Copies of this chain bind each other. A is one copy, B any other.
Amino acid sequence: MAFSTVDDLTVSMTYEPNAYPFERESEVRSYSRSFPTTFVRAAGSTMTDSSGRTYIDFLAGCSTLNYGHNDPDMTEALMSYLSRQGLTHGLDLQTEAKAEFIQTFIDLILDPRGLPYRLQFTGPTGTNAIEAALKLARKVTGRSTVISFTNGFHGVTIGALAATGNRQHRMGPAIALPGVTRALYDGYLGASVDTAEMLDQLLSDPSSGYDAPAAILVETVQGEGGINTARASWMRDIDAIAKKHGALLIVDDIQAGCGRTGTFFSFDSMGIKPDIVTLSKSLSGFGLPMALVLIHPDHDQWLPAEHNGTFRGNNLAFVTATIALKKFWRNDDLREDVRRRGRLVTEALTNMSLHVPGSVVKGRGLFLGLDVGSGERAGAICHQAFHHGLVIETSGARGEVVKVLAPLTTPDVLLTSGLEILHRAVEEHLDLRFTTI
């Protein structure tokens, strides 16, 4: 194994695949436990490991690879950029690559939607974007509390972690997570209780114990939380509640954005215009670290460098992100594809659900999942699927949802193959249980 062509740089290697070096990784490693092999290359919706085995990828980097692995146009643009000695790193200097990204983003995304946002490039991870968004909302409003929702996931740095619901991450009593009050997501108490109305009641009541919030931070679809979807009418209510109570509306579109639900922004058809939007994951289109905070100009009250970071301008990501926009967002083709493929996946999951008592198909666009009722069951199904060549994972409060996050560009034939593997895994899991009991 020598990816380097620079022979004189080779040192004696003791490396054998899957063995020694990974043992030195911290116990914190996780996906490598679910998929215990070493991957060497990937293209489109498939990944190949060091034994030459190829897998269909229904994980897509948790929706970071919406356009698949190693898109050839992006690869070509990258290689061209590298050949020309384009800047790879320049703090937040102005570079050609950044200029073209900004211009393209304005032309293809913001202007057609009438969105006047300013662009802030933060440290290139979603959690850094959330930290910036929350900080700015607090600065703009002079308030400290942010409302976030049950089952929300917004990252694990302390500021963002405070807004994240997952108890495994929340550090117990080791440190107080500051400045977040929890509200109930759409449908949390079932269809009969309007959780937006409840939030309004709590914020309107001067002795409810709910302080006036700086912001309401919300995902339109909760990916990690279990593919929970908010209704457009609920989102509009939340938008109205934010305005009524002087809070900014921040939509965290890190996982749901960049086309996962069919439209570029997950809220495109919802009739809301958030004050702040966070993007990351599939933004670079190529899996490269990149994060972006979109800020309504009225709220762009940052001082220079008030929120900074070494890697806030990942120029290779600008290069591929620009190609991603030009290739996929100049017309409605991708949206159509997502719609069709979404139907295809929904139908397949619905079929599977017939085998699993109490299971429920969840999600919208290609942000879909099958809630099988327990994390143990969902985990076993994914494990079985991997055995048959499908990379797929769970989400949800207890890991009870088998999550289908195939690249949006997955050819229908591959999508069908993946779903067949999944179906087989479901059946085998049930048989297995039947047999062993």
User: Is the pair B104, A173 in contact by a Cβ cutoff of 8 Å?
Assistant: no
Report yes or no: B15 in contact with A99, Cβ–Cβ below 8 A. Answer: yes
**Chain B residues, CB < 8 A from A102:** 21-22, 24-25
Contact A85 B128 (CB under 8 A): no
Q: Is A17 an interface residue when CB atoms closer than 8 A count as contact?
A: yes
Please report which residues of chain A, range 68-126, place their CB below 8 angstroms from some CB of chain B when the two chains form the complex.
69-70, 73, 75-100, 102-104, 106-108, 117-121, 123-126
> Min CB distance, A94 to chain B, in Å?
4
Judged by a CB distance under 8 angstroms, whether A380 is at the interface is: no
Q: With a CB–CB cut-off of 8 A, which chain B residues contact A5?
A: 76-77, 80
Establish whether residues B95 and A61, one from each chain, have CB atoms under 8 Å apart when the complex forms. Answer: no
A144 within 8 A of B: yes
From A28-36, A230-238, A257-265, A342-350, give the one contacting chain B.
A28-36
Q: Bound complex: CA of A91 vs CA of B42, how far in Å? A: 13
Chain B residues with CB under 8 A of A333:
none
The answer on a CB contact under 8 Å between B309 and A174 is: no
Minimum CB–CB distance from A124 to chain B (whole Å) comes to 5
User: Residue A28 contacts which of B85, B209, B306 (CB distance < 8 angstroms)?
Assistant: B306
A208–B166 alpha-carbon span in the complex (Å): 7
Taking a contact as CB atoms closer than 8 A, the residue among B77, B189, B280, B293 that contacts A310 in the complex is B280
Name A95's closest neighbour in chain B (CB-CB): B39
The reply to whether the CB of A269 lies closer than 8 angstroms to some CB of chain B is: no
Binds B, one of A296-304, A353-361, A413-421: A296-304
Interface of A is mostly: loop
User: Once the chains bind, are A209 and B164 in contact (CB under 8 Å)?
Assistant: yes
Cα A175 to Cα B1 in complex, Å, equals: 50
A62 to B311, CA, bound (A): 10
Contact B166 A175 (CB under 8 A): no
A166 with B206: CB separation less than 8 A? yes
Q: How far is the CA of A22 from the CA of B120 in the complex (A)?
A: 11
User: Which among A149, A173, A201, A322 has the highest number of chain B CB atoms within 10 Å?
Assistant: A173
Contacts of A142 in B (CB 8 A): 173-174
Query: Which of B6, B188, B198 contacts A76, CB < 8 Å?
Result: B6
A363 on interface, CB distance cutoff 8 Å: no
* CB atoms of B138 and A84 under 8 A apart: no
Q: Does A65 contact B (CB under 8 A)?
A: yes
Stretch of A150-158, A365-373, A427-435 on the interface side: A150-158
In the complex, A388 has a CB within 8 A of chain B: no
State which of B127, B188, B306, B397 has its C-beta within 8 Å of the C-beta of A206. B397
Residue of B nearest to A397 (CB): B207
- State which of B84, B92, B95, B157 has its C-beta within 8 Å of the C-beta of A38: B95
With a CB–CB cut-off of 8 A, which chain B residues contact A214? 174
A119-B24 in contact (CB<8A): yes
Question: In this assembly, does A409 line the interface, its C-beta being within 8 Å of a C-beta of chain B?
Answer: no
Indicate whether A171 reaches chain B with its CB closer than 8 angstroms: yes
Known: A21-B102, A21-B106. 15 other contacts (CB 8 A): A14-B107, A22-B94, A28-B304, A31-B93, A41-B84, A41-B85, A69-B88, A75-B82, A123-B128, A127-B157, A138-B173, A143-B173, A145-B173, A173-B174, A207-B224
27 contacts between A and B (CB under 8 A): A6-B76, A6-B326, A11-B108, A14-B107, A17-B99, A21-B103, A24-B106, A25-B118, A27-B301, A29-B304, A30-B92, A38-B96, A39-B93, A79-B83, A89-B288, A124-B125, A128-B128, A131-B156, A135-B175, A139-B171, A153-B207, A156-B309, A157-B160, A166-B206, A178-B178, A182-B208, A207-B224
